[in-house]
């Protein structure tokens, strides 16, 4: 022992200097201390190794858990990701296509429903009325001894005349006869009066300032001289006063009072929608025929804001047998 401190029985270490009692482990001296230190170092290293081994063994577990969690979460994040663009895109496109098709299919027929159908129905109704008027018009035989001047004022026909074919006219044979230079907008297309369709009509506006007097007509250029016996007139505005004139020459007379115009009928109030006017001088040939309108019916006068008009649905010329 290094000190003189007393030790009790069974005490292996001095409590003052730390020396071991003789015969104990601590009593071996520094060698014993070194051995104890070596043992302590070994224990510390072993503990460190065990701790490292424990940490090393725990890391793979954490990686396995991390990998497992990543694999479990990857489907969860990838599965909904493509779903939003596909599902909304398909849902948005289909309704639009379905909504567009019916609208296009409905609009296409609109066009015939709003433009063609009313005109066809109006034309059919007017044609029916004119046909009924035509069928109710009596056909009588004119005595051969009748005076030509008187027969020219009547709309009576012979059975021979009803079998005659009308003179074939060019499509541009009809023009407005407008010696007093009324505005061109007062007249519609004159070819509608010779197109063979009684549902169409050439119209001439009535001047409210001078109504019911009128001073205009429909001129027909025969292109060559023809003997004309009958003028058939179909109109949807009966009640007007008309007169038929004939002329020859290379140009149309500039005024209805020009001596070049020869009256082929007296003034006639057209009381029916379909009349046949027998003409005077049927043995003479004429190049120009004019249906002169001198007075409008009361129902066609109109007002300054809404002027009236007369209608000439069809004019046909029949040659002398």
Q: What whole-number distance in Å separates Cα of residue 282 and Cα of residue 272?
A: 24
Give the rounded percent of residues in the chain with a pLDDT score beyond 90.
46
Residues 6+ apart with CB under 8 A from 279: 152, 228, 229, 230, 231, 244, 246, 264, 265
Looking from the CA of 196 toward its CB, the CA atoms found within 13 Å total 7
Q: How confident is the model at residue 136 (pLDDT cuts 50, 70, 90)?
A: very low
CA 51-53-59 angle, to 5 degrees, is 105
Give the pLDDT score at 77. 46
Is residue 185's pLDDT more than 70? yes
Determine whether domain 116-319 maps to CATH 3.40.50.150: no
* Burial of 76 (C-beta count, 10 Å sphere; 0-12/13-18/19+): exposed
pTM more than 0.75: no
Give the pLDDT score at 31. 53
Q: What whole-number distance in Å separates Cα of residue 122 and Cα of residue 124?
A: 5
Q: What whole-number distance in Å separates Cα of residue 155 and Cα of residue 217?
A: 20
Is residue 25's pLDDT more than 60? no
Choose among 242, 276, 264, 269: nearest CA to 161.
Answer: 276
Q: How confident is the model at residue 256 (pLDDT cuts 50, 70, 90)?
A: very high
Average pLDDT over residues 69-81: 45
304 compared with 73, residue with greater pLDDT: 304
Give the pLDDT score at 72. 42
Task: Tell me the three state secondary structure of residue 76.
Answer: helix
End-to-end alpha-carbon separation of the chain, Å?
Answer: 177
Tell me which of 97-111, 170-184, 240-254, 274-288 is least confident.
97-111
Q: How confident is the model at residue 67 (pLDDT cuts 50, 70, 90)?
A: very low
Give the rounded percent of residues in the chain with a pLDDT score beyond 70.
57
Average pLDDT over residues 84-93: 47
Give the pLDDT score at 103. 43
Domains of the chain: which residue ranges? 31-108, 116-319
Q: What whole-number distance in Å separates Cα of residue 213 and Cα of residue 202?
A: 19
Give the pLDDT score at 17. 72
Give the pLDDT score at 114. 36
Average pLDDT over residues 116-131: 48
Give the pLDDT score at 127. 52
Q: Which two tokens stand for residue 76?
A: 């969860």
Choose among 243, 230, 224, 219: nearest CA to 166.
Answer: 230
**pLDDT tens digits for range 259-314:** 999 999 999 999 999 999 999 999 999 999 999 999 999 999 989 889 999 999 99
Average pLDDT over residues 167-187: 96
* Burial of 319 (C-beta count, 10 Å sphere; 0-12/13-18/19+): middle
* Burial of 317 (C-beta count, 10 Å sphere; 0-12/13-18/19+): buried
Is residue 95's pLDDT more than 50? no
DSSP conformation class of 263: E
**pLDDT tens digits for range 106-117:** 443 343 333 334
**pLDDT tens digits for range 35-58:** 667 777 778 787 777 777 666 655
């Amino acid at each position: 022992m290094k000190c003189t401190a007393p030790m009790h029985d069974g005490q292996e270490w001095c409590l003052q200097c730390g020396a071991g009692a003789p015969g104990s482990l601590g009593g071996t001296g520094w060698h014993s201390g070194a051995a104890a230190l070596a043992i302590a170092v070994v224990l510390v290293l072993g503990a460190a190794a065990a701790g490292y081994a424990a940490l090393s063994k725990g890391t793979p577990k954490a990686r396995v858990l991390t990998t497992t969690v990543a694999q479990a979460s990857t489907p969860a994040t990838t599965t909904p990701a493509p779903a939003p663009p596909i599902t909304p895109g398909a849902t948005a496109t289909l309704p639009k296509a379905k909504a567009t098709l019916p609208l296009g299919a409905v609009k296409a027929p609109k066009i015939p429903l709003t433009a063609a159908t009313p005109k066809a129905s109006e034309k059919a109704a007017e044609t029916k009325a004119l046909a009924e008027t035509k069928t109710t018009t009596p056909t009588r035989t004119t005595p051969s001894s009748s005076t030509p001047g008187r027969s020219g004022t009547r709309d009576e026909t012979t059975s021979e005349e009803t079998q005659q074919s009308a003179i074939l006219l060019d499509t541009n044979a009809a023009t407005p006869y407008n010696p007093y230079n009324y505005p061109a907008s007062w007249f519609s297309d004159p070819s509608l009066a010779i197109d063979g369709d009684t549902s169409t009509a050439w119209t001439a506006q009535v001047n409210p300032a001078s109504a019911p007097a009128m001073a205009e007509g429909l001129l027909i250029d025969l292109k060559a001289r023809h003997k004309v016996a009958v003028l058939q007139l179909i109109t949807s505005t009966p009640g007007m006063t008309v007169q038929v004139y004939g002329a020859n020459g290379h140009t149309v007379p500039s005024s209805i009072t020009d001596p070049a115009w020869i009256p082929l009928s007296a003034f006639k109030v057209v009381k029916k929608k379909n009349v046949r006017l027998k003409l005077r001088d049927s043995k003479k040939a004429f190049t120009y025929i004019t249906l002169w309108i001198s007075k409008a019916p009361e129902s066609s006068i109109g007002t300054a804001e809404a002027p009236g008009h007369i209608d000439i649905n069809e004019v046909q010329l029949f040659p002398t047998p």
